[in-house]
C-alpha cells in the first residue's frame, strides 16, 4: 500500500503562493510578519502590549513558520505601501479584519 506523506513544509508552498500572489510578495510578507512575531515574543512580560500576537494557534516554534501559517489561514494580508505616508518602519503585514 502506498501512503501519501505530508511534505516537510506545512502549509504547502503552492497554497502560500496562491494566497500571496507572487514569490516576492510571499517572501516579503512572511519575513516582515516573522519579525513582528519575534518582536512580540521578545517584549512579553514587559507590559508594553504594542505588538500584535500570533493570529493562529500553532505548535511551531519559529516565527517564520507561524507567519506562513497565518498567511495560509488568511489571517494576515499584504497592503501596498504608500510612498507619501512616510517611513515603512511599521511594515506591510496587517492582520486581516
Mean pLDDT, contiguous 10-residue spans, the chain (97 residues) = 52 88 91 91 73 84 90 85 65 61
Q: Which residues contact 96 (CB under 8 A, 6 or more apart)?
A: 74, 75, 76, 77
| pLDDT for res 34 | 94
Place of cell 512575531: 37
Question: Cell triple for residue 89?
Answer: 518602519
Q: List the domain boundaries for the chain.
A: 13-76
| pLDDT for res 21 | 86
Amino acid at each position: 500500500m502506498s501512503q501519501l506523506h505530508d511534505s516537510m513544509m506545512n502549509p504547502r508552498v503552492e497554497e502560500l503562493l496562491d494566497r500571496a500572489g507572487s514569490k516576492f510578495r510571499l517572501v516579503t510578507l512572511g519575513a516582515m510578519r516573522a519579525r513582528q512575531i519575534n518582536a512580540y515574543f521578545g517584549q512579553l512580560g514587559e507590559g508594553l502590549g504594542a505588538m500584535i500576537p500570533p493570529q493562529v494557534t500553532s505548535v511551531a516554534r519559529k516565527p517564520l513558520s507561524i507567519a506562513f501559517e497565518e498567511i495560509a489561514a488568511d489571517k494576515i494580508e499584504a497592503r501596498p505601501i504608500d510612498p507619501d505616508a512616510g517611513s515603512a518602519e511599521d511594515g506591510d503585514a496587517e492582520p486581516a479584519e
